[in-house]
Chain A
Amino acid sequence: MTVIPKQVPPVLEVEGLCLAYDDGTAPRRVVQDVSFRINPGEVVALVGESGSGKTTTAQSIIGLLAANGRVERGSIKLNGTDIARWTDRQLQTVRGARISLVPQDPGNSLNPVKNIGAQIGEIFRIHGALRPDEIDRRVISLLERVGLSEPELRARQYPHELSGGMRQRVLIAIAIALKPQLIIADEPTSALDVTVQKRILDLIDELRAEYGTAVLLVTHDLGVAADRADRIVVLQNGRIQEQGAASAVLAAPRSPYTRELLAAAPSFARPVSRPQSEVRSSPPGVEDDIVVVDGLVREFAGAGSSRFRAVDELSFRVRRGSTHAIVGESGSGKTTTIRSIVGFDKPTAGRIVIDGTDLSCLAGEDLRQFRRRIQLVYQNPYGSLDPRQSILQIVTEPLLNFGRLKRVDREAKAWAILTRVGLPEDVFARRPHALSGGQRQRVAIARALVLDPQVLVLDEAVSALDVSVQARILALLQELQSDLGLTYVFVSHDLAVVRQISDTVSVLRDGRLVDGGTVSEVFEHPRSAYTRELINAIPGQSRRAAA
């Protein structure tokens, strides 16, 4: 523990906090005996996976627990005053003025029918902090301060006219408007692209230094915590596993859970030396590219008669048995590309050859037969499984579609593959909603593999999962690849994951290929400035540099 000198009273002191939700009959305890403190100007990161109680803890501090949530025990002291049991009316004087919030999802956190200026100005009106005629000027200067160009125009615009990063800047402007002592930033960047994420975190850092505000940073990403926090509090299942100075926690974690998290976090993983040699060693001139994409173009009808090019002259090749990553931020055309590869979308121009079959000549029954060879695993394991089918039904269905097997054989095969992906037998008869996210993604992988495909396309297949679950799924994928000789096309926005598991990579921006080659080439000698920017934006740099 760091020793805090007596003369600096903490801004926030949470002690023995227990929080519970009332679900019908019995209260469900979600936060158990949590204690930590935040000193003025300090950044404390609350780190944990989903269900760890980190967001609930943060909500309780600003008095915004859901209607069925309540503080069971403990105190939340703001400058020495316990506000844990304050009424809503009392808390209203504190919210916005002394504690403020930067929310999780900038997309929905601004009122869609009010303009930006009104929404920032509102906080002055609520607290009666400024004379009405001063508000407009103050709003403009705040917009300028958070780095928005043309602040006068922005004040008149509506949220839908701004990008996600710009909206988050507006929300930060609201949070700093009354110079609070504490800003709670609840996953402030998890909905944003990595490059935008870095800029937003830089801005929060800068403002903290300028105003001396303390920041409580709630995040699932140890990398972000490592880069930004002075101290780290690690939560699991509502209990504190470990807390201390960031450097100490990261360098010498004491709790096994923290060690597990650190091991799972792809941003800390050293570039793995994959057994790539055999893949690459095939003699030159011998064609063993199982996926060939050549001059792929996909246009969509834009506004009026204009055409929008989602994918523009994209070419790459994937060796049999290797993993090829397609990397890009939102709108880079990566999703369109893979939909063409698996045959869901017809490209405007270009050629796609999968295992010697040219996709453009396929239609109807031929296309259906082709689907056995290439399978897609979706990003969202909640939406890609039919809620009304049992797990066994989901996995036997592809076999039924190519029905050459008897019912008993189908079920035996599904049974074998479900066991292979590490699912316990007692879930086979259940429906998807009874399974966790990681389990569902295993089901989706089993469904894809049951047809014995050669190529598996993974569309952000681990992005929605917690890091420890993500690490286990990635390990499973690597195992399956070496056992079954699969080829992966792995789509991701997360460069850390990409570096960990792939052999070759294509970096996409605005539908164009900006960089490509083996992972070591691209990561160590990026050719484009954009790739460099992406690599620099990977959180957790500070720790890697230190290590």
Chain B
Amino acid sequence: MSAYLLNRVGQALFVLWAAFTISFVLLQAMPGDAILIKFQNPDLGLTAQQVAEIRASYAADSPVFVQYAHTIGKFLTGNFGYSVQAGVPVSSLLAAHLPATLKLATLGFLLASVLAILIAFLSSLTPFASLRGALQSVPSLFISIPTFWLGIMLIQIFSFRLKLVPVINPGPWQELILPVITLAVPISAPLAQVLVRHIDDVMTRPFVGVARAKGANRQWILWRHVAKNALLPTLTIAGVLFGELIAGAVVTETVFGLNGIGGLTERAVGSQDAAVLQAIVVLSALAFVIINLIVDLLFPVLDPRLRTKIGAAA
């Protein structure tokens, strides 16, 4: 068990290191001064001494591999460099923008899970074939809607037509209603699809037939036999969903003008602020790796088949 754990953590660290390297190659391995020249832009109002400090912090006058080693060292201590656009350390930018995104993502993910579970379980419980068909086609519709367009449509309908949600000066929770829906829809679709597929799959397994032969009704079978078997493999797409969540956050925050990591990302790309984007990429990879690590460690706890054997199976 501990060997498995070590191996798994080692793998995670490797992925993280490689993700850093890729982002470094993509974003920083351009001639050092190309970035740094931007800091000399008088609009930023940096003094000559500050610019010199930034140059030193990037090891700008050294060869690329020295810069690489230097940057890795900095990342390990939580120093992600300076934003070209804002002229402040990236870490303080991230700290300022993270709470808004965390709130949005958490609420969006919760709503998405509720939607997905409702769609999947209602469609498998309903006795009417037409309702079942309609419910099961919802995810394929959801997956085909561009997130940004959904946000705009929601604003158009609920804010401008129906005037249900104010656009100007909304309350702290009011301003989250539409973004959370916008974010939840694209997340719920793959989740619901996977759930529906696994429920259908488990429903055809012989042990469900045995449960029916015991005299169990459909609800009993769904909750006591199918639910856990269908939910377990759904955990494996947690990492993919996280990626969707990030993409959704970037778009949603842009559409609704929210000041989170997503909005920060959008502006960073717009102004070619590589340092900010690299920090976000590496942190996302870190989150992805941690999520998958948790899922992998959780599996043996939830699935008895992956636990070590108790007695002899003779």
A contacts, CB < 8 Å to B = 62, 64, 88-89, 92-97, 100-101, 103-105, 108-115, 122-123, 126-127, 150, 153, 156-158, 160-163, 166, 171, 174
Contact = CB atoms under 8 A, between A and B. Distances in A.
A127 B215 contact: yes
Given A109-B210, A110-B210, A163 B215 contact: no
B96 interface: no
Nearest to A177: B214
Nearest to B314: A163
Interface stretch (B31-39, B97-105, B302-310): B302-310
A177 to B, nearest CB: 9
20 contacts: A88-B217, A89-B217, A92-B217, A95-B213, A96-B214, A101-B209, A104-B206, A109-B210, A110-B207, A111-B211, A112-B304, A113-B303, A123-B214, A156-B310, A157-B311, A160-B304, A161-B310, A166-B313, A171-B210, A174-B210
A123 B232 CA distance: 25
B160 interface: no
Contact of A108 (B206, B214, B305): B206
Contacts of B313: 161-163, 166
A156 B309 CA distance: 12
A112 B229 contact: yes
Nearest to A95: B215
Nearest to B127: A88
Contacts of B302: 113
Contacts of B74: none
B215 A123 contact: yes
A62 B213 contact: yes
Given A126-B214, A127-B215, A157 B310 contact: yes
B161 interface: no
Top 5 A-B residue pairs of the complex, sorted by shortest distance between their CB atoms: A96-B215, A101-B213, A95-B215, A96-B214, A158-B304
B207 A64 contact: no
Nearest to B304: A158
A111 B310 contact: no
B8 interface: no
Contacts of A93: 215
B267 interface: no
A122 B225 CA distance: 11
B48 to A, nearest CB: 64
A150 B216 CA distance: 28
Contact of B310 (A62, A153, A174): A153
Interface in B172-230: 205-207, 209-218, 220, 224-225, 228-229
A348 B225 CA distance: 45
Given A111-B229, A113-B228, A103 B206 contact: yes
A64 B213 contact: yes
B210 A122 contact: no
How many B residues touch the partner, as a band?
20 to 34
A114 B221 CA distance: 13
B225 A111 contact: yes
A306 to B, nearest CB: 15
A49 to B, nearest CB: 21
Given A92-B216, A160-B305, A161-B310, A103 B209 contact: yes
A114 B232 CA distance: 13
A161 B229 CA distance: 17
Contacts of B232: 113
Contacts of B212: 64, 95
Interface of B: 205-207, 209-218, 220, 224-225, 228-229, 232, 302-305, 309-311, 313-314
A137 B159 CA distance: 63
Contact of A109 (B209, B216, B228, B314): B209
Given A64-B212, A104-B206, A126-B220, 13 more contacts: A92-B217, A97-B215, A101-B209, A101-B213, A109-B206, A109-B207, A109-B209, A112-B207, A112-B305, A150-B311, A157-B311, A160-B304, A161-B309
B304 A174 contact: no
Contacts of A100: 213-214
Contact of B213 (A96, A112, A113, A114): A96
A93 B215 CA distance: 6
Contacts of A160: 304-305
A215 to B, nearest CB: 15
Contacts of B229: 111-113
Nearest to B311: A153
Nearest to A163: B313
B133 to A, nearest CB: 14
A268 to B, nearest CB: 31
B293 to A, nearest CB: 22
B217 to A, nearest CB: 6
A48 to B, nearest CB: 20
A110 B209 CA distance: 10
A92 B302 CA distance: 30
A114 B304 CA distance: 8
A162 to B, nearest CB: 6
B37 to A, nearest CB: 58
Contacts of B314: 163
A5 B68 CA distance: 95
A28 B228 CA distance: 36
Contacts of A162: 313
Contacts of A95: 212-215
B215 A103 contact: no
A158 B216 CA distance: 21
Among A95, A156, A171, the most chain B Cβ lie within 10 Å of the Cβ of A95
Nearest to A153: B311
Nearest to B216: A126
Contacts of A174: 210, 214
Contacts of B213: 62, 64, 95-96, 100-101, 103
A122 B224 contact: yes
Contacts of A126: 214-216, 220
Contacts of B309: 161
B260 to A, nearest CB: 38
Contacts of B216: 92, 122, 126
A112 B310 CA distance: 15
Contacts of B215: 92-97, 123, 126-127
Contacts of A62: 213
Contacts of B207: 108-112
Contacts of B214: 95-96, 100, 122-123, 126, 174
B299 to A, nearest CB: 12
A105 B206 CA distance: 8
A174 B250 CA distance: 54
A122 B223 CA distance: 13
Contacts of B311: 150, 153, 157, 161
A101 B216 CA distance: 13
Nearest to A108: B206
B210 A101 contact: yes
Contacts of B211: 111, 122
A97 B205 CA distance: 22
A160 B217 CA distance: 26
A171 to B, nearest CB: 7
A115 B232 CA distance: 16
A89 B219 CA distance: 12
Given A111-B229, A126-B215, A103 B310 contact: no
Contacts of A110: 207, 210
A126 B225 CA distance: 13
Contacts of B310: 153, 156-157, 161
A45 B257 CA distance: 74
A89 B310 CA distance: 39
